[in-house]
A and B are shown apart, each in its own frame.
Chain A
Amino acid sequence: DAGITQSPRHKVTETGTPVTLRCHQTENHRYMYWYRQDPGHGLRLIHYSYGVKDTDKGEVSDGYSVSRSKTEDFLLTLESATSSQTSVYFCAISGRDLTTGELFFGEGSRLTVL
């Protein structure tokens, strides 16, 4: 199994509070991704990173920011959490461009915003 650790695995917070989810990898992979999964929507890409300090937006990036200061860590921040951000968040990593490579996913972080 790929070495991916997400933390926290479960979090309950209140509307308006900041939240940071952490993805840590031990594979030295170049690419890292944050997805959210909601019933009826499948997985949707929030942000991704193609190297240290190199990040870009996915299809549902509003309300989220990311940072990657070192290869092994990719942080997802909700500056002011809203109830619509209640979801399961998955981190994924890849060592190669996704046209020929594969994604390895973490176990997910369940966030509830009250």
Chain B
Amino acid sequence: DAKTTQPNSMESNEEEPVHLPCNHSTISGTDYIHWYRQLPSQGPEYVIHGLTSNVNNRMASLAIAEDRKSSTLILHRATLRDAAVYYCILLPGANNLFFGTGTRLTVIP
């Protein structure tokens, strides 16, 4: 399975943008890049996904490097409710999501 590398933790001030990086140097041409987040005591929830082009939705933006070996999840204005563990996941085409340990985001009031 293609793997991802994320920092263990990051901090951000409230109402400032947050850039969460993810490295996936072994990504294949058909792998989609997905992001999920897990709030305390809850199951993970979908944030965004993309293949090659940058993507935007109501929750976040996803910036994908031109060589696709890295990507960045962008939260435009962090709120306290964004404090969570963020997972960057690659889909190799099979019905299996490999979740690593993710990045724990702390939002400082």
Interface residues of A (CB under 8 A from B): 31, 33, 35, 40-45, 48, 50, 56, 58-59, 90, 92, 94, 97-100, 102-108
Contacts and interface: CB of A to CB of B under 8 A. Distances in A.
A40 B101 contact: yes
Contact of A103 (B30, B46, B101): B46
A-B pairs, 9 with minimum CB distance? A105-B43, A43-B99, A102-B46, A42-B99, A42-B101, A99-B91, A90-B43, A99-B32, A42-B100
A104 B46 contact: yes
Contacts of B93: 99
Nearest to A35: B99
A28 B32 CA distance: 25
B95 A44 contact: no
Contact of B44 (A31, A98, A99, A103): A103
A106 B43 contact: yes
B97 interface: yes
13 contacts: A43-B99, A48-B96, A50-B95, A56-B95, A90-B43, A98-B95, A98-B96, A103-B36, A103-B97, A104-B45, A105-B45, A106-B43, A108-B42
B8 to A, nearest CB: 11
A102 B32 CA distance: 11
Contacts of B32: 99-100
Contact of B99 (A44, A50, A94): A44
Interface in B74-109: 87, 91, 93, 95-102
B68 interface: no
Contacts of B30: 99
Contacts of B95: 31, 33, 48, 50, 56, 94, 97-98
Interface string B7-48: 000000000000000000000001010101000011111100
B44 A105 contact: yes
A45 B96 contact: yes
A58 B96 contact: yes
B103 to A, nearest CB: 11
Contacts of A99: 30, 32, 91, 93
